[in-house]
Amino acid sequence: MTTPARGLLVLVRHGQSEDNAQDLFSGLRDPALTPRGVEEARAAGRELRRLGLSFTHAFTSMLTRAGQTMELILDELGQSDLPVRRHAALNERDYGGLAGLNKSQARERFGAERVRIWRKSYDAVPEGGESLAMTAARVWPFYEREIAPVVRAGGCALLVGHGNALRSMLMRLDGIDAATIEDVNIGTAQALVYALAEDGRRLVKTNLPAADLAEPSSRA
């Protein structure tokens, strides 16, 4: 077992899901990983192990694709016995009426421009769903309450999450504004590594190779 790194946060998006493979809006739907997604998750775990990382704390959502990815990563790290904190605050953005539709079906039903705004805008709310701003309003308080104290105390936290939920975190962690976040995409099983800054509070993105473990793919 490697020694846990001190004061690190590793964010990993789940591996390819069955909805990703069909280019569907997923949101709170609960598809499993595809065989490709399983291998992506295992590859992420192997890369984190190669970098000598192990974790003191693990966090994920209540959704299957994230939970499976977490299990596979921890298995590759030899840390299958690490307790995992699961919470609905980390669930993917609720796509409402878009959920279960592929991009072409959504454009036909709602119109291309409206779908583009729902997908890209920080504040736009799909029918019956959440905006990215609403997602951030539940994800970030959970981070500040439960994850940040772990890292600031010198722990090493692994968070396996979802494309939009993680994007909402990057706005704070990386200082990304609402206009710029529209063009930020996190690929399936891609990892982003943050280290505690010298001030003991801020997190700064590192240049570890783990920051780009997998090729980008469509958002959940």
> Which residues are catalytically annotated?
14, 92
With residue 77 as reference, give the H or E element that holds it. helix 64-77
Beta bridge partners of 192: 11
With residue 13 as reference, give the H or E element that holds it. strand 8-13
The closest alpha carbon to 57, from 127, 148, 161, 192, belongs to: 148
Q: What is the DSSP string of 149-182?
A: HHHHTT-EEEEEE-HHHHHHHHHHHTT--TTGGG
The closest alpha carbon to 197, from 9, 39, 63, 16, belongs to: 9
Q: Is 4 exposed, middle or buried (0-12, 13-18, 19+ CB in 10 A)?
A: middle
Phi-psi region of 173 (alpha: psi -120 to 50; beta: other; left: phi over 0): alpha
d(CA 115, CA 109): 9
